[in-house]
Structure 1
Amino acid sequence: MNSFKVSGVVKTVLPILLGTAIYAFGLLYFIIPNQLMEGGVTGITILLKYAFGISPSFSNLLLNIPLFFLGWKILGGRQIVYTGIGIGSLSFFLWIFEKMIEHGWIETFETDFILASLYAGVTLGAGLGIVFRFGGTTGGSDIVARILNRKYGFSMGQVILTIDIIIIALSLFYVAKENILYTLVAVFIASKVIDFIQEGAYSAKAFTIISDHAPDIADMITKEMDRGVTLIPAIGAYSKQSKYMAYCVVSRPEIRRLHQIAKSVDPRAFIIINDVHDVHGEGFKED
């Protein structure tokens, strides 16, 4: 049992380390050399670098330590431990890449602002996406948001957005307006990459079919498409009549075929189609 626990921890910690390494690389290779910005506490570390030349690896650790202990006291739990790992590993990798750049082992990317913002968005998004997917964070505004959410009920998204707006507004004293616009491009791309990694690369569609002939539709889907279907008992609110809903998940190429089957059995069938991400199980990805 202990070996399973250790294995589970390793499978969680290693991706967090990989994610923070990618994130640190993006900050030092794309963001800072091109005078771009970031949100949260990371944005403050970048401002301190621009204004006073303070090492991001040092300021990141210094700013996050009190937040970490405050989060430990108020939030507790396993996630705050993984947050501590994220904070420590991010500072470590920032220090490693700083030294590599200082010694000329890595040449920073300073060729094109558009490319820099695009690549920054991809690398930062990939790094954070991996960290978030495995239950970690890089600390900072995420801890503040969780505390305010638990204590006062504030939306985490609103808190993080407010902090980001304040930090980016302060950066106007040290960063050109054009660079802020490029930063917004990087932030937008990063958010999309984070969503892509968290939701999974594989996407499918879920069909909810409400019909008086739902069992017949389910039988035909099973026979002709070899897909599993779940029948869910339901009662019409207006008619008060009992009926079934058929629920089925299919891959994108099968969408049209399933729609045709449902309509061939019952042209009046009410069909709801939803996006489904990261599907596991028979006929899809196996764990």
Structure 2
Amino acid sequence: MNASVLFKKIGQIYLPITIGTAIYAFGLIYFILPNQLMEGGVTGITVLLNYALGVSPSLSTLLINIPLFLIGWRSLGRTQMIYSIYGVLSLTFFLWLFEQAVKLGYLNPFRTENDIILATLYAGVTLGAGLGIVFRFGGTTGGVDIIARIANRKLSVSMGQFILFLDIFIIGSSLFFITKEKILYTLVTVFISSKMIDFIQEGAYAAKAFTIITNEPHQIADQITKELERGVTLIPAIGYYSKEEKQMVYCVVSRSELRRIKSIAKGIDPKAFIIVSEVHDVLGEGFKED
């Protein structure tokens, strides 16, 4: 591997995984632990060990993930597991770093009794953002993340949803260590975290896809091309009831162009049938490049 390829891989894969694990570790040390909240998966086990026995989360995270790596090695393949191992080592390092910062007084955790909902919301955002970045660039932080990625590949299950259901089960077992109220707050954190994971996984940029069934497809397509400078695709279709052959106009536009394209279609054909759907992570000319 030459130097340019190595630096490219570091910038496109390892650096984002590092940033993601740093954000996740910060959320755990800064919001979760000081407010006696919980987490799911292997991290939830490390949190329980910290509450019950005072075990360092950085140490338990590393030790618990060792057997899971053996499971994931065959399921995910060599390259994927290298990224996962790096993710766990990076997470372990940042957990240790923030633990030391707290002990030495450089980091003052957000501890509150009067506004626990604020800690809950920010914990969900930081944990979800961190994991979402790690997942988006091909890594994991070990534990349930490895199982979630396997489920995503084998069963086509959303990673965020899979982690949510597993976390609910794991968090339910923490009744012996924290109060019911804290568990309920934790479920809010987990829900927000799962949504953040899916949001970042699918892409922060959301566009709109238009499917227009009309008797004036060429005129509408021509007007969209001239006014919005967007690519348009004409799709052959047959009306089931009328048995008439038609052409559907398909176009992807940004949110800001939503009202304009509706106006164009209705202005040319008031009887046009318009379907608008969400599109995530749009790549290509006029949007963003991969």
Equivalent-residue separation in structure 2 for 1:225 and 1:74 (angstroms): 46
Q: Residues 274 and 39 from structure 1, CA distance in 2 versus in 1: closer, same or farther, beyond 3 angstroms?
A: same
1:200 aligns with 2:208: no
Letter in 2 for 1:9: K
Q: Residues 56 and 190 from structure 1, CA distance in 2 versus in 1: closer, same or farther, beyond 3 angstroms?
A: same
Which residue of 2 is the match for residue 124 of structure 1?
127
Equivalent-residue separation in structure 2 for 1:156 and 1:219 (angstroms): 38
Which residue of 2 is the match for residue 262 of structure 1?
265
Report the CA distance between 1:52 and its aligned residue.
1.0
Q: Residues 280 and 243 from structure 1, CA distance in 2 versus in 1: closer, same or farther, beyond 3 angstroms?
A: same
TM-score normalised by L of structure 1: 0.90
Q: How does 1:165-244 map to 2 (within 5 A)?
A: 165-244=168-247
Query: RMSD of the TM alignment (CA)?
Result: 2.4
Offset from partner CA, 1:229-276 (integer Å, 9 cap, x none): 122223334444432211112222221221121122222222110112
Letter in 1 for 2:256: P
Which residue of 2 is the match for residue 7 of structure 1?
7
Equivalent-residue separation in structure 1 for 2:73 and 2:259 (angstroms): 51
Which residue of 1 is the match for residue 64 of structure 2?
63
Which residue of 2 is the match for residue 54 of structure 1?
55
Q: How does 1:82-97 map to 2 (within 5 A)?
A: 82-97=83-98
Letter in 2 for 1:88: L
Report the CA distance between 1:21 and its aligned residue.
0.7
Offset from partner CA, 1:65-118 (integer Å, 9 cap, x none): 110121102331422221111111111111111111111111111133122112
Report the CA distance between 1:286 and its aligned residue.
4.4
Equivalent-residue separation in structure 2 for 1:154 and 1:174 (angstroms): 35
How many residues in Structure 1 have an aligned counterpart in Structure 2? 286
TM-score normalised by L of structure 2: 0.89
Q: How does 1:154-169 map to 2 (within 5 A)?
A: 160-169=163-172
Q: How does 1:20-59 map to 2 (within 5 A)?
A: 20-59=21-60
Runs of 5+ consecutive residues of structure 2 not aligned to the other structure = none
1:100 aligns with 2:101: yes
Runs of 5+ consecutive residues of structure 1 not aligned to the other structure = none
Offset from partner CA, 1:135-167 (integer Å, 9 cap, x none): 11111113234556778x695767644432232
Q: Residues 75 and 133 from structure 1, CA distance in 2 versus in 1: closer, same or farther, beyond 3 angstroms?
A: closer
Equivalent-residue separation in structure 1 for 2:150 and 2:128 (angstroms): 24
Of 260-269 and 44-53, deviating more is: 260-269
1:256 is paired with a residue whose SS is: helix
Offset from partner CA, 1:172-211 (integer Å, 9 cap, x none): 1001111112212222222232233233333221101122
Of 194-203 and 222-231, deviating more is: 194-203
Q: Give percent identity, aligned residues only.
A: 66
Offset from partner CA, 1:206-237 (integer Å, 9 cap, x none): 10112232111101111233322122223334
